[in-house]
Chain A
Amino acid sequence: MLRLLTIEFHKLRYNKAAKILTITYFVLLTAISLIASYEFNFGGVHIRLADQGIFNFPYIWHFNAWFAAWLKLFLAIVIVAIMANEYTNRTLKQNLIDGLSKKEFLASKFLTVVIFSLLSTVFLFIVSLILGLIFSDFNEFSIITTDLEYIFAYFIKLVGFFSFCMFLGILIKRSAFALGFLIFWQIIEGVFKLISSLFKWKFDTDILDKIVIQFLPLESMSNLIKEPFTRLSIVQSTMNQFNESSEVNSGVHWYEILIVLIWTGIFLSLSYYLLKKRDL
C-alpha cells in the first residue's frame, strides 16, 4: 500500500497544475476563518459573521462542513485530471507494461482519493476547532464534541464525490469532457428534482423524493450535510437549548451514509470493470 502511495505521490508532486489547485484548495479552506472574522460594513451597519452565532459549538461543525464542501470542486478537478491524463498521456498503458496490475493502479488512485478526503477533513476539523475556540459562546468539552458526526459525514461525502470524479475520468478519458459531464449530471439530477416537486405540488405526496431522489448519487452526497441556515435561526432562537438541535431534521442519518457508501462501492467497481475490460 505504501508503494502505491509513493507511486501516486511521485506522479502528483511534479504536476504543477495539480499542485497549484491543491494548494489553492487548502488555502481557501483556511480562508473561511478570515471571511468569518472580517467585519462587513453595509452602509454604516457593521456585521461580523462570527458574531451571528455560526461559530458556536456544536453548530460550527455543521456550518463549516456544509460551507467547506463547496470548495471540493477544486480537488474534483485534480482527481478528474490525474485520472484522465493517464489515458491522454497513455501512461496507464506504460504503467501496466512496467508491471503495475490494473487492481494496483485503481487502488493507487482510490488511495489518493481517500488521502485527499482525509487531509481535507483533518484540515476542516482543525480550522473549525480553532474558530470555535475563539468565537464560540460555549466552550465546554461535552458541547465541543457534540455533532462531530458532521465531520465524519464530510469525509464520507468527499470520498463519495471524488470516487464519482475518478470514475468519470476513467469513463470519459478526457478531463474537460469529464468535468462537463459532471455538470451535465448535476443538471439531470436537477431535472429529476423538478419533476419530483411538480409531482409533490400536483398530487401532494413526496413519494418520488423517497423512492428516487434521495438515491441519486449527487443528491445523496448533498443530503449528508443539509443546508445549515434553517437550523441557524433555530439555534439563535433557542440559544440555550442546544440539545434540541439534534432533533431537527438536518442531522446526519445512518441510511444516508449507507447510500453514499454504496455509491462509492459502485463507482469503484465500475471503474475496475472499465479498466479490466478495455484494451489499451
Chain B
Amino acid sequence: METILTLQNLTKRFGAITAVNDLSFTIKKGNVYGILGPNGSGKSTTLGIVLNVVNKTTGNFKWFDGNTSTHQALKKVGAIIERPNFYPYMTAAQNLKLVCKIKGVTPDKIEEKLEIVGLLDRKDSAFSTFSLGMKQRLAIASALLNDPEILILDEPTNGLDPQGIHQIREIIKVIAAQGTTILLASHLLDEVEKVCSHVVIIRNGIKLYSGPVDEMNVNFGFFELNSNQNSVLKKWLSDHSGFGEIKEEDDKLIAYLTQDIDAESLNKEVFEAGTILTHLVKRKESLEEQFLQLTNNLN
C-alpha cells in the first residue's frame, strides 16, 4: 500500500516540556486514521510539525516518497487546524480563490466544494459574518479544493453546537466513503470510533498504540454477570482458568477473559456448577474503555 506520511522518531521540546517524544508511525493510503489523546498530549504539535508550522527539535518526517519538499507536498494535502483561519474581509469565494492560487489549482471547483459543505448560498458573504460552524465548514471546503491525497482534521468539531458537530461528522463520513485518506485528531472518542479504521494513541507526547482499531486490544472481551449468589460465583470464576481480573461493579461481576469463551458454554458451565445466572452479557471494550485502559496504564 502506498505510504503517504512517515514519522521517524519525531521529538519537539518547548523549553523544558517535551510535547512530542520520539514519535514514529506511518499513514497509508486509503485508511481513516484517528490520533487520540487527552488535551495537551501533543496531537496538534505533531500535526503542526508535519504541516510546516512548528519546527521539530529532532527526528524526521517525510511526505509521500520523501522526494518532494514539505511545502510542495502540502499542496497535495488538505488540512484544517484547530480554528479556521481566513481573511475576515474577503468573502467565502474570495478566500477559496486565494487558497487555489496558493495550491496552484484552478478555481473551478470552488462551487462544487461549497456545495458539499452546504455554504453555496453564502459564498458571497464576508468571512467575518460567519458563525463558528460555518467557518469550520468553509475550512473543510478549502481543504478539499485540491482533491487532496490526505485530509488532516485537527479537532474539527471543537466548540461547535450539537447540530454543527453532526453536520461536520456527516461531511467527514461522506468524504471517507469516497476513499480519501483521513487523519483525524480528536479527544472525542465516539467521533473517532465512528469513522476511523486505524488509531494512533498519544499521551504526553509518547505513542501508546498505533494500528487498526479492532486489533487495539488483544483481550477477549469481558462478561457482565449477576446471580443470587455472587460470592460463590466470584470464587468459581477466580478458580476458572479462562478468567483474569474480576471486578464488582453496581452489583454486577465483571470478569475479563484470558481466552475465548462464548456466552452459551459459560452459561452451561456455571449452571452445572450449581449457580443460576440472572444476568449474562458478553462485551468487548468500547474504544473509550480501551483508551482509558491504555492511558491509565502509565499512571
Contacts and interface: CB of A to CB of B under 8 A. Distances in A.
Contacts of B97: 10
A100 B102 contact: yes
Contacts of A14: 87, 89-91, 94
Contacts of B52: 96-97, 101-102
Interface stretch (B70-78, B168-176, B231-239, B264-272): B70-78
Interface residues of A, number: 26
A91 B103 contact: no
Q: Which of A3, A11, A98 has the most CB of B within 10 A?
A: A98
B292 interface: no
Interface in A237-280: 276-277, 279-280
Contact of A279 (B48, B70, B91): B48
Interface in B94-125: 94, 97-99, 101-104
Contacts of A89: 85-88
A276 to B, nearest CB: 8
A91 B104 contact: no
Nearest to A95: B102
B53 interface: yes
B101 A97 contact: no
A14 B128 CA distance: 13
B69 interface: yes
B71 A96 contact: yes
Contact of B102 (A15, A16, A98, A280): A98
Contact of B72 (A11, A91, A99): A99
A7 B53 contact: no
Nearest to B94: A14
B79 A97 contact: yes
Contacts, number: 79
Nearest to A98: B102
A3 B51 contact: no
B55 interface: yes
Contact of B81 (A3, A97, A277): A97
Interface in A67-125: 89-91, 93-102, 104
Given A14-B89, A99-B71, A99-B74, A279 B54 contact: yes
B53 A97 contact: yes
Main secondary structure of the interface of B (DSSP, over half): mixed
Of B70, B72, B101, B104, the most chain A CB neighbours within 10 A belong to B101
Contacts of B28: none
B99 A98 contact: yes
Nearest to B79: A97
Contacts of B29: none
A97 B51 contact: yes
A145 interface: no
Nearest to B53: A280
A96 B73 CA distance: 11
B71 A10 contact: no
A96 B51 contact: yes
Contacts of A90: 83, 85
A6 interface: yes
Interface string B43-65: 00000100111110000000000
Nearest to B102: A98
Contacts of A91: 85-87
A209 B13 CA distance: 46
Contacts of B72: 99
Contacts of A98: 74-75, 99, 102-103, 142
Interface string A1-33: 001001100110011100000000000000000
Contacts of B69: 101
B102 A7 contact: yes
B71 A3 contact: no
Interface in B143-196: none
A11 B99 CA distance: 11
A170 to B, nearest CB: 15
Given A101-B69, A280-B54, A11 B98 contact: yes
B54 A100 contact: no
Contacts of B79: 97
B71 A7 contact: no
A225 to B, nearest CB: 35
Contacts of B73: 99
Nearest to B45: A279
A174 to B, nearest CB: 16
6 contacts: A10-B97, A14-B91, A91-B86, A93-B85, A95-B102, A104-B71
List 5 tightest A-B contacts by C-beta distance, closest first.
A99-B75, A101-B71, A99-B74, A94-B85, A90-B85
Interface of A: 3, 6-7, 10-11, 14-16, 89-91, 93-102, 104, 276-277, 279-280
Given A96-B52, A99-B75, A101-B52, 6 more contacts: A15-B89, A89-B85, A89-B88, A98-B142, A279-B54, A279-B55
